[in-house]
Amino acid sequence: MQMLSLTKVCAGYSGFQALFEVSVEVEAGEAVAVIGPNGAGKTTLLRVISKLIGATSGEIRMEGASLARVPAHEVVSRGIAHVPENRRLFPRLTVEENLRMGAFPRAARKRYGERLEFVYGLFPRLEERRGQPAGTLSGGEQQMCAIGRALMSGPKLLLLDEPSAGLAPVVVQAIFDLVRRICAQGYTVLIVEQNIRQVLKVVGRAYLLEAGRIRLAGNSREFLDSQEIRKTYLGL
């Protein structure tokens, strides 16, 4: 079943166009990456899906239903959870208070205890630090908290924006291991990432976004075997 589809989506900021007729599909239960250089429009793509900015043209559908008239504050209730770039936690709130914020939708509130148990099972370190202000966590722990907060809503689709950004190499590996575990739980994941070598080991398919346009699409093995990708992005 198709979970998400974008058809010829254009978007931008204050007269600057960042996306040009971008079409992307994500099937239920699969993990898909969008890769590309800085400034390619990857973060804009996720913001358009979660309605943080509006598309200027094109169509976005979630489980077959158009998101055109869905206001931003209702997107989470439609099953889309967005882990933004740089995590965007509430630094003075505790870990558990941040997680509670993720369970704000009415349906999620009813299952708060169950969701909290699930997140602590996935991230035991967060349970150890449940009463600690989120701003005092390490970078890796903050990323876990941001992902955990998104999972508290019980999403159908998880959007991850550069989860490895700014983290030490040993922590990066741990974050990708966690992403792999989330995928194994059956979540549908769309991940934007510059660490191309690592992300292609986690996802099944990928899109290459350059200068706001989709330049290449295929399974992760094809990307890893592509001479263009290996030369331009993997340094091989």
Instruction: Read off the CATH number of the domain in which 63 is found.
Output: 3.40.50.300
Q: What is the mean pLDDT of residues 129-141?
A: 95
In a domain, 224, yes or no: yes
Residue 61 contacts residue 235 (beta carbons within 8 Å) = no
Q: Are 70 and 120 in contact (CB under 8 A)?
A: no
220 part of a folded domain: yes
Label residue 35 by pLDDT band (50, 70, 90): very high
Mean pLDDT of the chain: 93
Please report the pLDDT score of residue 235 as a whole number. 65
Q: Is residue 31 part of a domain?
A: yes
User: Would you place residue 14 in the very low, low, confident or very high pLDDT band (cuts 50, 70, 90)?
Assistant: confident
pLDDT digits (tens, 9 = 90+) for 159-202: 999 998 888 888 888 888 888 888 888 899 999 998 898 899 99
Domain extent at residue 41? 1-78+191-236
Threshold 0.85, pTM exceeds = yes
21 sits in which H/E element? strand 16-27
Q: Is 225 part of a structural domain of the chain?
A: yes
Query: Is 236's pLDDT higher than 60?
Result: no
User: Residue 166 domain-assigned?
Assistant: no
Residue 230: pLDDT band with limits 50, 70, 90: confident
Q: What's the confidence (pLDDT) of residue 107?
A: 80
Reported as a single tens digit per residue, the pLDDT across 51-91 is 999 999 999 999 999 999 999 999 999 999 999 988 889 99
* Residue 184 placed within a domain: no
44 lies in a domain?
yes
Q: For tokens 């250089």, what's the residue?
A: 37
Number of domains in the chain: 1
pLDDT digits (tens, 9 = 90+) for 104-125: 888 888 899 999 999 999 999 9
Indicate the angle between helix axes 95-102 and 112-122, nearest 10 degrees: 120
Q: What is the pLDDT of residue 227?
A: 86
- Is residue 82 within 8 Å of residue 46, measured between CB atoms? yes
Q: Is residue 104 part of a domain?
A: no
